[in-house]
Amino acid sequence: MKTVAQCSTHFQADVIKGNLENEGFHPVVFDNSMNSFLPVNKTNGQNLIFVRVPDEEYKAAMEYLDSQKDQPD
């Protein structure tokens, strides 16, 4: 699995995940805070919510996400 996005909220990660799924990718949201005893999902100021895809989908997923940055809101 490779990281295609690092998010500041679960909502943002879920939106990206949904967009990727609509395009046929197989993303997974990882929240490393579940591996911690800290009650927040930040460690040293870094948010730890990642959207990842299988290695073989990484390049195409990144190209898709990059193309969406150019789209008007």
Say what the pLDDT of residue 69 is.
82
Higher pLDDT, 8 or 64: 64
0.75 exceeded by the pTM?
yes
* 3-state SS assignment for residue 2: strand
* 3-state SS assignment for residue 64: helix
CATH T-level topology, domain 2-69: Alpha-Beta Plaits (3.30.70)
Say what the pLDDT of residue 26 is.
98
Alpha helices, DSSP H, located in 1-73? 10-22, 58-69
- For 15-45, b where at least 16 C-beta lie within 10 A, e where not — what string? ebbebbeeeebebeeeeebeeeeeeebeeee
Average pLDDT taken over every residue of the chain: 85
In the chain, where are the structural domains located?
2-69
Tens digits of per-residue pLDDT, 30-52? Answer: 987 655 555 554 555 566 899 99
72 phi and psi angles, rounded to 5 deg: -70, 150
